[in-house]
Amino acid sequence: MAVYTQVDDHTLSAFLDMYDVGTATSFKGIAEGVENSNYLLETTGGQFILTLYEKRANPADLPYFLDMMEHLAADGMPAPLPIRDKTGASLQTLSGRPACLISFLRGVSVNHMTDAHCAALGETLAEMHNSLQSYTQTRPNDLSLKGWQKLASDTQNGADSVEAGLKTIIFNELEYLASNWPSNLPSGNIHADLFPDNVLFTGTKITGLIDFYFGCTDMLAYDIAVCINAWCFDADHTFQATRAKRLTEMYDSVRRLSAAEIDALPILCRGAALRFLLTRLYDWLNPVKGAVVRPKDPLDYLKRLQFHQSVKDTASYVV
Ligand SMILES: Nc1ncnc2c1ncn2[C@@H]1O[C@H](COP(=O)(O)OP(=O)(O)OP(=O)(O)O)[C@@H](O)[C@H]1O
Ligand SMILES: N[C@@H](CCO)C(=O)O
């Protein structure tokens, strides 16, 4: 359960006094998520999510994430709106942690992804990228090549205990990516972790994009590659080409993909697969003491990586 920091009623009421949101009528910890403590809060003024940022969040990055959400929400995108307190600040301190109140978004995340969900995702992702063109803050992607190299070193002693030969696979892939990683593709601010649990749907309409805490400045097409990995494989790790094609087709209908971006999709998908393989491997080998949440299986992303390595041309991903 992702509630690491408990907030008592007295502390909550003093916190809410700083805002114009009324008084609490319901306050419950949310079980999903692993990074931060999240509460669902209902007040006489509406429904909100209260997040307390835990140790892995770098406080210096929080204004970038919150302003990104605010920019998107102000532009009509289905992103949470950080609520400003009576002094105009959206970042606060609560129970010794940086904390923020954001608007509650309706919708449910899907476990069974369909072509229609992926089409909606492609369209919304492109709209988000277009909107973020006018978001002027930047944040380097610390989970790109350099970050992967560090994670590979940090996990090299344990990798083969998870799967024989995994260490060699990781280092060979890193060498390939380091020599071939694209550098001249259109870039901007991206979500970088738009997994199904971070997208809320009502039917096949997207009503929420959440969890912007890996947001960063990188190649826009890398965000598509993250989504292809997260949305276009079945539970048995079989690639679902039609889903990927609907995703890229609808993306392209909103923001035209250049030939260079399309050509780069196979390598970007390899990089994105390695990113989640490495972070999951690190978490698998370094479980947090007392955590109830089970680490996610790194090998899901080894299978995706191996699929992308086998791809001969971009026809697998685009119409
Ligand atoms: N604005 C929102 N509107 C509705 N529900 C939300 C909102 N923000 C978060 N949630 C709910 O809280 C849960 C956890 O949120 P989030 O994914 O941001 O947490 P996290 O600890 O950063 O998770 P992760 O492990 O995915 O990084 C979500 O799965 C969702 O159920
Ligand atoms: N979405 C990630 C966790 C947060 O980065 C994963 O499934 O591995």
Check residue 75 and give its pLDDT. 98
- CA 35 to ligand 2: nearest atom: 4
Tallying the residues shown for the chain, one arrives at 319
Pocket of ligand 1 (CB under 6 A): 2, 30, 32-36, 38, 49, 80, 102, 104-105, 197-198, 208, 210-211, 213
- The string of pLDDT tens digits covering residues 18-64 is 999 999 999 999 987 777 889 999 999 999 999 999 887 899 999 99
Confidence at residue 1, expressed as pLDDT on a 0 to 100 scale: 44
Instruction: Examine the pLDDT at 86 and tell me if it is beyond 60.
Output: yes
ipTM: 0.94
- Longest CA span, the chain: 61
What does the buried/exposed string (b/e) look like for 54-73 if buried means 16 or more CB atoms within 10 Å of the residue's CB?
Answer: eeebeeebbebbbbbbbbbb
Please write the tens of the pLDDT for every residue from 210-220: 999 999 999 99
9-103 topology per CATH = Phosphorylase Kinase; domain 1 (3.30.200)
131-135, 218-222, 249-253, 287-291: least confident range: 287-291
Residue range 3-31, pLDDT digits in tens:
778 899 999 999 999 999 999 999 999 98
Q: Is the CB of 300 under 6 A from ligand 2?
A: no
On the question of pLDDT at 284 being above 50, the answer is yes
DSSP string spanning 84-137?
Answer: P-TTS-S-EEETTEEEEEEE----B--SS--HHHHHHHHHHHHHHHHHHTT---
Top CATH class, 115-316 = alpha beta
Q: Whose CA is nearest to atom 29 of ligand 1?
A: 32
Q: Enumerate the domain spans of the chain.
A: 9-103, 115-316
Which atom of ligand 2 is nearest to 280's Cα?
A: 8
On whether the pTM is more than 0.80, the answer is: yes
CA-to-CA separations, 59 to 67, 218, 221, 317, in angstroms, rounded: 14, 21, 28, 37
